[in-house]
Amino acid sequence: MFWKFDLNTTSHVDKLLDREDVTLRELMDEDDILQECKAQNQKLLGFLCRQQCMEELVSLITQDPPLDMDEKVRFKYPNTACELLTCDVPQINDRLGGDETLLNLLYDFLDHEPPLNPLLASFFSKTIGNLIARKTEQVILFLKKKDRFLSLVLKHIGTSALMDLLLRLVSCVEPVGLRQEVLHWLNEEKIIQRLVELIHPSQDEDVSMAPHSGLLESALCCCGGTCPFPQMRTS
């Protein structure tokens, strides 16, 4: 007996995309949306890269979902949105990294008052980190134009995801020439001195010194400096 296999099966994502009224969230409910995105399903990417969809994806990872939502699904869409934005597909990287409106929408997350939602902060940091890796020049130029960027990052330095982002800026930018440019910018902004001021024992005791000390050590190491306070040097 021979079984017949249909090798031209259409994914449910494609079937949904055939509808003119399909919504982003309907697509995000599909279990295989990430797989289809990573496989560079052009119909899906064309939909996701629409301005309205990109803005919705960025909003999902930067705005707290309603408190009255079921806790089991409250961060379902933000998590899926982050996975879509960081799945390392060139069309999405180009769309997000090359659109200042979208970058501003993403950047506005830093304007939130502390403490940041740690899960949203991780989504934000992961998304910016992916752009730093894939659209380095565009994103670094964008951030350098933001006078308050480093001040806002330091304002939220107690959130581990923001510490990770600063470390990525200090140590993970490629190529070497661009990394030197970033380090020069951070030096001009007195990032080391500002970190030292943040974690100096005279500061508010509510600020945990341990994670900041580790960040300072890493930043100083990458910048070729030495820690000015002996008690903050690693043993």
Tell me the one-letter amino acid at 86: T
Q: What is the pLDDT of residues 103-143, one digit of tens each?
A: 999 999 999 999 999 999 999 999 999 999 999 999 999 99
pLDDT, position 235? 38
- CA pair distance 144, 193, nearest whole angstrom: 19
Q: Report the distance separating Cα 104 and Cα 130, nearest Å.
A: 16
Q: Take residue 14 and report the two structure tokens written for it.
A: 């494609």
Task: Sketch the domain layout of the chain as residue ranges.
Answer: 23-65+74-146, 147-235
Residue 37 has pLDDT above 70, yes or no: yes
Q: What is the pLDDT of residues 83-113, one digit of tens each?
A: 999 999 999 999 999 999 999 999 999 999 9
Average pLDDT over residues 169-192: 90
Q: Work out the pLDDT band at 229, boundaries 50, 70, 90.
A: very low
Can you list the alpha helix ranges (DSSP code H) found in 39-175? 42-48, 51-62, 76-85, 90-97, 100-107, 118-134, 136-144, 149-155, 160-171
Calculate helix-pair angle for 209-223, 160-171, nearest 10 degrees.
10
Higher pLDDT, 188 or 192: 188
Region of residue 76 (left: phi > 0; alpha: psi -120 to 50; beta: else):
alpha
What tokens were used for 222? 């990458």
Which of 4-8, 11-15, 95-99, 228-232 is most confident? 95-99
Task: With a cut of 70, say whether residue 217 has pLDDT above it.
Answer: no
Q: What rounded mean pLDDT belongs to the chain? A: 86
Q: In the prediction, which pLDDT does 221 show? A: 65
Pick 162 or 200 by higher pLDDT: 162
66 phi and psi angles, rounded to 5 deg: -55, 140
Question: Token pair of 19, please?
Answer: 């509808």
pLDDT band, very low/low/confident/very high, at 35 (cuts 50, 70, 90): very high
Whole-structure pTM value: 0.86
